Amino acid sequence: MKCSTTGIMMLATLGIGATAGVAHAGAITGQIAVALRISSGCQVTNGASGNDSIGNMGTLDFGTVSPTWNSPLAANLSGQGTSGQLQVTCAPGITAFTVTVDGGLRGNRTLGYAQNTVAYEVFQNPARSVTYPIGTPKTFNVPQDGSAVTVPIYGAVTPNPSTAKVAGTYADTLLMTLNF
């Protein structure tokens, strides 16, 4: 009787599997690369979560008034959780940063509606006694422990008791620049 090699192999393979009664599994070991890159810089938050706040530092809203008003109008920076302030957190090694606030769309910090304007100012303190001069950097020191630095932003409009303003929504957009 003649046996073929192929038949023996097949028999041997079937025999091993049949007698063991258990399927053998193999094992493969491999590597997974894991990485995290932390850039050197500062992060500004206005209390919002996620990336919705990128480029949006908040709003100074002076509310709604009649065409004349006898008292100064005050506004605190608003945004989710701002309380008139931004928070800046910097990477280790950054010891200070500057904040510069420009003059707005017309360059002179005026709210505009059609050809009408109302002047306003931006301040560094709740008492509204220390301004952010137009285009002049204000330096903030970063604590060694890396905790957040508060950047206060407050606004005010002087009283307008005698000259009635045209009704409308007066607006402006300030550009705040953070350099570190």
Q: What is the pLDDT of residues 62-105, one digit of tens each?
A: 999 999 999 999 998 876 554 557 889 999 999 999 999 999 99
Which uninterrupted H or E stretch holds 121?
Answer: strand 121-123
Residue 74, domain extent: 42-160
| pLDDT beneath 70: ranges in the chain | 1-24, 35-38, 46-54, 79-84
Spacing of C-alpha 65 from chain mean position: 31
**Which one-letter amino acid corresponds to residue 14?**
L
Does residue 28 belong to any structural domain of this protein?
Answer: no
Widest Cα–Cα separation across the chain = 124
What is the DSSP-derived secondary structure letter of residue 14?
A: H
CATH number at residue 148: 2.60.40
Does residue 143 belong to any structural domain of this protein?
Answer: yes
* pLDDT, position 38: 67
Q: Closest Cα partner for 148 from 159, 156, 140? A: 140
Number of domains in the chain: 1
8 A C-beta contact, residue 168 and residue 113: yes
* pLDDT, position 98: 95
**Which one-letter amino acid corresponds to residue 82?**
T
**Which one-letter amino acid corresponds to residue 49?**
S
> CA 177, 110, 56: angle at the middle one, nearest 5?
35
> CA 152, 82, 67: angle at the middle one, nearest 5?
80
Does residue 149 belong to any structural domain of this protein?
Answer: yes
Does residue 18 belong to any structural domain of this protein?
Answer: no
91 CB neighbour count, 10 Å cutoff:
14
